[in-house]
Amino acid sequence: MCGIVGIMDLDGGPVDLHDVERMNRVIGHRGPDDVGYHGEPGIGLGMSRLSIIDLDTGHQPVGNEDGSLQVVLNGEIYNYRELRHKLQQKGHRFATAGDTETIVHLYEEHGLDCVEHLEGMFAFALWDAPRQRLLVARDRLGIKPLYYGCFGRRLVFASELKSILQLPEVERRIDWESLDHLMTFLVTPRDASIIAGIHKLEPAHILVTARGEVPCRHRYWQVRFAPDDSLSEEDAAAALGEQLERSVRSHMVADVPLGAFLSGGIDSSAVVATMARSSTEPIKTFSIGFTDRRYNELDDARLVADTFATDHHELVLEPNVTDIIEELAWFLDEPFGDSSAIPTYMVSKLAAGEVKVALSGDGGDELFGGYDRYLVEQREQRLEYLPPPVRALMGAVSRQLPEGVRGRNWLHHMSMSGSSRYLDANSLFRTDDRRSLYRPEVRELLAGADPLQAALAALPENGCHWLSKLQKFDIEGYLPLDILTKVDRTSMAHSLEARVPLLDHKLVELAATIPPRMLLGPGGGKQIFKRAMRGILPDRIIDKPKQGFAIPLGRWFRGDLDSMLRDVLLSDTSRKRGIFDTDQIERLILRHEARGNLDLQLWTLLSTELWMRTFLDASPAVAGAPPGYPPRGAIARPAPSHGQEVPR
């Protein structure tokens, strides 16, 4: 696990490695064990290494036999031993014992198709000096991040956005459509970032460019839902159990201490149970809870820990989380609407005190239909039979009702059909509510932008089961943009490698063959996964209602964090930005105090303002902060008027 950075001069000119070093320095938390650089005309590569495999010879960048190829890798290649053996049989000579070197020799054999042979989580950059060609690749599910952008005649890339912001030619200008997407779906878009001109490389994509050429992207894999109706439930459950065991075993390969996150839910419990069967030593497990028992799963986590005799560690998170929230603005890299980043950050900190690698259970809800929203959509499928004129009437009535009136949003939602209804149900701010957040100048900039329509275009084509369609949409969007981003940033903030065995791509492909009828049932989602785990996990874990990794944020905002919320969102600093209508935000706060149902909306607004103070208002000294130094005091720090393009 590492952080990688790089600069390519598209004209073949020199690259100042001091620029690469500046980019690398701010992500030192991703790899505090080692740094490495490679520079030659046209290219500069850098990396910060967290040593997990091959502690002695695993320095990066890594070259081939004659040094004409150089690669930097963030992540782990789980099948590197098998690949290494095959490559050695073909005459390739290895200088290290780790996984990174496998990539350069695969490239020698297969060129750009080398990525198709890799199993694991990765983002890597490979420089081919003879061809003056750069290959940048990201893993199939988007477990590891990669940002990039072209500025002048330079292509720059990095594991985190903040690295690219260190370059003087990069203007810190907000991408307004990304901001609008954030206020709709809690995250910025798949292929863009909150900063104009900086993009995400999407999962399962490669980016290729050569000297004098325009960079081009290519997708090399996608999950295809093709249910096998001949599959019996018994065979499906057995196949899942076998593939999970293979995946967990491969994810346990490490030369450093290893453990697991344990929430008490079925996914993390299944990972822990499988780890315990594959280990001769007690597995270290880590859980977090709250004083509010409605959000506390520690009893269930303890049950699993006792069942499998783990070395269990837990922490109760108290409401005084102001410092955590400010630190998150630095480490999350972009505004982020998922407040479960708070407990994920803290459980990562807890684990990092004991291990360098932690396995998690993320991905199970997408693969096996575990989200409650799938059950809601299953119930609402009957609305497809409503005559279109009735739907149109309900929509017209909803538009006549004032904002905040009970029933307005319900009528609007019921007037929709199919995928539009699903997206509406999972929107943070609906269209009218979102527009009312912005100042008139911002609304003008966003004229014609519609995140919901863009999301509809990304949904799979008709022809597959509605559940498969939504699962694929979430696997390609919500999973990498929210879940995996949260886990990557919060774990790496503490120099901890988080691995996700449920997202082994072969397990994902297997899950895509399971008929939808085996997923949703009277007992909720994940029916086939529950069957696979029956007899392995305690029945209480399998049969309990889904809880999710929620926190009592709404109550905190009405109590201990109320003053912070007001001090940040209603401050002169926020007003002077000219982005949000502060009066409208104050109305939201008052509505939340009265009804308590706007915690995620307020969290997203808070996260956005703290991000702006951290990355747009920060002085150059803070913007180039050394590793491990997130800017603090964002609430009290006066914000200068420069550093952000404000609409005029």
Q: Which residues are catalytic?
A: 2
Q: Identity (one letter) of the amino acid at 407?
A: G
Q: Which two tokens stand for residue 342?
A: 């708070």
How far does CA 150 lie from the centroid of its chain? Answer: 23
Q: For tokens 């609409």, what's the residue?
A: 647
Task: Report the alpha-carbon distance of residue 28 to residue 18 in Å, rounded.
Answer: 15
First to last CA, the chain: 43
Task: Report the alpha-carbon distance of residue 636 to residue 246 in Å, rounded.
Answer: 51
Q: Which two tokens stand for residue 144?
A: 């590891």
Q: List, in order, residues 6 or more apart from 442 with CB less than 8 Å away.
A: 176, 578, 579, 580, 647
Q: For tokens 């000579």, what's the residue?
A: 93
For 129, half-sphere exposure in the C-beta direction (CA atoms, 13 angstrom radius) is 14
Residue 536's SS3 state is coil
For 353, half-sphere exposure in the C-beta direction (CA atoms, 13 angstrom radius) is 11
For 223, half-sphere exposure in the C-beta direction (CA atoms, 13 angstrom radius) is 31
Sign of CA dihedral 167, 172, 173, 174: positive
Q: List, in order, residues 6 or more apart from 388 with CB less than 8 Å away.
A: none
Residue 55's SS3 state is coil
Q: Which two tokens stand for residue 154?
A: 């330079």
> φ, ψ for residue 95 (rounded to 5)?
-105, -10
Q: Which two tokens stand for residue 24?
A: 């690398």
Q: Which two tokens stand for residue 235?
A: 């065979």
Residue 408's SS3 state is helix
